[in-house]
A and B are shown apart, each in its own frame.
Chain A
Amino acid sequence: MVSQTMSSSPAITVSELNERAKAVLGSAVSVNDVWVSGEISNLTKHTSGHYYFTLKDKMSEIRCTLFRGARNTLQFEPAESLKVTAFGSVDVYVARGSYQFNVATMRRSGIGDMYTALEELKKKLKEEGLFDDSRKRALPRYPKVIGVVTSPTGAVIHDIIRVAGKRFPADILLAPVLVQGDGAAASIVRGIELMNTQDVDVMIVGRGGGSAEDLWAFNEEPVARAIATSRIPVISAVGHETDFTIADMVADVRAPTPSAAAETALPDIYGELRIVDHMAARAHGHITASVERMRNRFKVIDSKLSPKRAGERVNIEIKGVTELHRRASSSIRSLLNLKKGGFMLADAKLSPKRAGDAVGQYMLRTDDFSDTADASVRRMLAEKRARSDSADARLNAVSPMSVLERGYGFIRAPDGKALISVSQLTLGSDIEITMRDGTAKAKVNGVIKNE
Chain B
Amino acid sequence: MNENVDEMTFEESLRKLEELVGMLEEGSLDLDKSLEIYENAVKLRDRCRKILEISERRVQKIMETSGGIQKEDI
Is the Cβ of A176 less than 8 Å from the Cβ of B38?
no
Q: Tell me the number of A-to-B contacts counted with CB atoms below 8 Å.
A: 109
Q: Which residue of B lies closest to A161 (CB)?
A: B59
User: Are A174 and B60 also in contact (CB < 8 A) when A279-B21, A286-B24 are?
Assistant: yes
Is the Cβ of A169 less than 8 Å from the Cβ of B51?
yes
Task: Flag whether A142 is at the interface (Cβ < 8 A).
Answer: yes
User: Are A276 and B14 also in contact (CB < 8 A) when A286-B27, A290-B31 are?
Assistant: yes
- Interface size bucket, A side? 35 or more
Over the window 14-28 of chain B, the binary record of Cβ atoms lying under 8 Å from chain A Cβ atoms (1 yes, 0 no) is 100110110011010
Is the Cβ of B34 less than 8 Å from the Cβ of A290?
yes
Q: Which residue of A lies closest to B24 (CB)?
A: A286
Q: What is the CB-to-nearest-CB distance from B35 to chain A, in angstroms, rounded to a whole number?
A: 7
Is the Cβ of B38 less than 8 Å from the Cβ of A284?
yes
- How far apart sit A165 and B57, CA to CA, in the bound complex (Å)? 7
Enumerate chain B residues within 8 angstroms of A144, measured Cβ to Cβ. Answer: 9
Enumerate chain B residues within 8 angstroms of A272, measured Cβ to Cβ. Answer: 10, 14, 48, 52
Is the Cβ of B24 less than 8 Å from the Cβ of A287?
yes
Enumerate chain B residues within 8 angstroms of A168, measured Cβ to Cβ. Answer: 10, 52
User: Are A194 and B52 also in contact (CB < 8 A) when A161-B59, A165-B57, A280-B41 are?
Assistant: no
Is the Cβ of A273 less than 8 Å from the Cβ of B49?
yes
Q: Which residue of B lies closest to A287 (CB)?
A: B38
Q: What is the CB-to-nearest-CB distance from B61 to chain A, in angstroms, rounded to a whole number?
A: 4
Q: Which residue of A lies closest to B35 (CB)?
A: A287
Is the Cβ of B71 less than 8 Å from the Cβ of A279?
no
- How far apart sit A279 and B63, CA to CA, in the bound complex (Å)? 42
User: Are A141 and B61 also in contact (CB < 8 A) when A283-B38, A287-B38 are?
Assistant: no
Is the Cβ of A194 less than 8 Å from the Cβ of B64?
yes
Over the window 38-52 of chain B, the binary record of Cβ atoms lying under 8 Å from chain A Cβ atoms (1 yes, 0 no) is 100110010011011
Task: Flag whether B1 is at the interface (Cβ < 8 A).
Answer: no
Is the Cβ of A283 less than 8 Å from the Cβ of B41?
yes
Is the Cβ of B58 less than 8 Å from the Cβ of A171?
yes
Enumerate chain B residues within 8 angstroms of A2, measured Cβ to Cβ. Answer: none
User: Are A169 and B52 also in contact (CB < 8 A) when A144-B9, A174-B60, A275-B14 are?
Assistant: yes
Enumerate chain A residues within 8 angstroms of B27, measured Cβ to Cβ. Answer: 286, 290
Enumerate chain A residues within 8 angstroms of B21, measured Cβ to Cβ. Answer: 279, 282-283, 286
A173, A175, A286 — most chain B CB neighbours (10 Å) = A286
Enumerate chain A residues within 8 angstroms of B41, measured Cβ to Cβ. Answer: 279-280, 283
A168, A176, A276 — most chain B CB neighbours (10 Å) = A276
Enumerate chain A residues within 8 angstroms of B20, measured Cβ to Cβ. Answer: 283
What residues make up the interface of B, taking CB atoms closer than 8 Å to A?
9-11, 14, 17-18, 20-21, 24-25, 27, 29-31, 34-35, 37-38, 41-42, 45, 48-49, 51-52, 54-64, 69, 71, 74
Q: Offer 25 A-B interface pairs, CB within 8 angstroms, sorted by A.
A: A142-B9, A164-B57, A168-B52, A172-B59, A190-B64, A194-B62, A194-B64, A198-B62, A269-B52, A276-B48, A276-B49, A279-B18, A279-B41, A280-B17, A280-B41, A280-B45, A283-B37, A283-B38, A283-B45, A287-B34, A290-B27, A290-B31, A291-B34, A291-B35, A294-B30
